[in-house]
Amino acid sequence: MRGSLRRAPGRFSRTKTGACPTSPPPTLIESPALEAEIQHQFQGYVNEFQAASTFFGVEDGADVAFGIRATLLPGAQLYGFYDTRQLSTATYGEYTVGASYGMFFHPLCFGAQLDGAFISYVRVDDERITKPYLQLSLQNDPLAGRVVFLVNTGYSFDIDHYGLGTGVDVKLTEVFDLYGEYFPWVDKDSSTDIGEGSVQVQNPFSFGVKINTAGHQFFLFAGNATEIGAENLMRGTYDKRLRLGFTIKRLFKLKH
């Protein structure tokens, strides 16, 4: 029946590109399709003396985000996300609604994707703030068919801040990848409400393993960020201690 869901044939389409939990690559998902995603980052610390008593921090609460992407036309997506809370900025109930368009320039050996979104959240005084966000994502064609570098640059109209995200994805086998992400704090003159008082802004990073299966991607990682999402990580973080997290993505192909 037209429009019904079926399991994605073969391996997840995005394994042809690099993919990190926070650094989105230009999409290669064939249209029409839906992609569901859950991101889960524990707030407890892995590398503390008492970490074992909370099973490496997983009993100390978590920041959780749910999202769905719809690829309606080749390279074009609509998406929406809900994030439960942001620890460092003490905000909650964050919604993101956006659209993106990506394409590959194979003669030049790179791909690009432009995202435009509105992000809305509730502050501690119960006021809801809604502002636009723009992001450009770049990646190379896989080197030797295995190594992909990702670069994201974005601008937040919420705090009048531009940011940078970088990532690398190394394919070990058809099933396992290793990856890392790093978000240097580049717009040091902009305002930010990260941390409290004179807490120094740190550069967020994460590293982990990606597992590719038929229709799924599983990410297991450790990092120092207190938030989820590229826009939030481009603000920086206030900590160097490690937290555990995971991301699960599931692809559904739509029948023509």
| CATH, residue 148 | 2.40.160.40
CA dist., res. 28 & res. 39, Å (int) = 21
CA nearest to 118, candidates 151, 81, 88, 91: 81
Distances in whole angstroms, Cα of residue 74 to Cα of each of 29, 30, 175: 8, 6, 26
Return the sign of the alpha-carbon dihedral for residues 219, 14, 168, 166: negative
CA dist., res. 80 & res. 93, Å (int) = 13
Pick 192 or 54 by higher pLDDT.
54
Pick 241 or 53 by higher pLDDT.
241
Say if CB 23 and CB 230 are below 8 A apart.
Answer: yes
pLDDT digits (tens, 9 = 90+) for 2-24: 333 333 333 333 434 567 777 76
Domain count, the chain: 1
Q: What is the CA radius of gyration of the chain?
A: 18
Pick 192 or 110 by higher pLDDT.
110
* Domain enclosing residue 154, as ranges: 5-254
Burial class of residue 31 (count of CB atoms within 10 Å of its CB; 0-12, 13-18, 19+): middle
CA nearest to 57, candidates 223, 190, 209: 223
pLDDT digits (tens, 9 = 90+) for 17-55: 567 777 767 776 778 999 999 998 888 888 666 656 666
pTM confidence score:
0.81
Return the sign of the alpha-carbon dihedral for residues 181, 225, 216, 29: negative
Q: Is the pLDDT of residue 208 over 80?
A: yes
